[in-house]
Copies of this chain bind each other. A is one copy, B any other.
């Protein structure tokens, strides 16, 4: 059987530890092409670059048997460029994104560049998985994630993913306690509670730092936050149709 062609992206940049781990694991499974932002792109959501052209450069000696590129654009740009330029005319079997330094569970999926790369691929009809670790540290310990990444990717290649669906996979931070397993979940209905701190620059002009924390009041069960808290790996199948079908009916009853 021919090796699957796997495109690897992220939002923490080509220099991050997490994408190197992911590319390493993928090189045990298929032919691997990495394309990632040349600078940190966390919080970029589904941004794309429209007002300036992209720069893309090959990265030499990234990993054995792995072709790697760095791109001046966003994570979504990387996937678009990979599909429509670098690998034009070839069938990409899987796009993986991450491993993100920091959780993308719950509402973070909307702000996440890592998940936007995966969702971009899913829109293009390519099976896609985003991986994230609940540890923001640049030198986070990913050792417990490797066997599960491989297991999840092999299963997705074997079974095939539902059309248009990208998996949002989140790992608990490493601890003494072993991982309990994998749970299929729904996205937690939580919100970030932000605050802005006003400071003054050396010239006396104000500027504002945003800070926030995730406030989870979702007690309905079966969420990704629940799974992570119990030391499970969470998988949420995510789709890009934002239509709230229930509300379609409600709004149809409004008379305009």
Contact = CB atoms under 8 A, between A and B. Distances in A.
Contacts of A144: none
A76 B50 CA distance: 18
A112 to B, nearest CB: 9
A42 B49 CA distance: 9
Interface in A235-256: 235-248, 250-252, 254, 256
Contacts of A119: 110, 242
Contacts of A240: 107, 110, 242
Interface stretch (A25-33, A89-97, A192-200): A192-200
A216 to B, nearest CB: 13
Contacts of A196: 54, 80-81, 84-85
Interface stretch (A14-22, A59-67, A170-178, A182-190): A182-190
Nearest to A56: B208
B241 A247 contact: no
A195 to B, nearest CB: 6
A124 B191 contact: yes
Contacts of A151: 256
A140 interface: no
Interface in A206-256: 206-210, 235-248, 250-252, 254, 256
B46 A243 contact: no
A39 to B, nearest CB: 9
Nearest to A51: B40
Contacts of A235: 251
Interface string A103-139: 0000101110000100100011100000000000000
B187 A48 contact: no
Given A53-B209, A209-B53, A251 B184 contact: yes
Contacts of A242: 109-110, 119, 168, 187, 236, 238-240, 242
A182 B208 CA distance: 41
Contacts of A50: 42-43, 210
Those 6 A-B pairs whose CB atoms lie nearest each other, nearest first: A45-B46, A237-B247, A239-B244, A238-B242, A45-B45, A53-B207
Given A42-B50, A162-B247, 8 more contacts: A44-B45, A47-B111, A53-B208, A55-B207, A165-B244, A236-B242, A238-B244, A239-B244
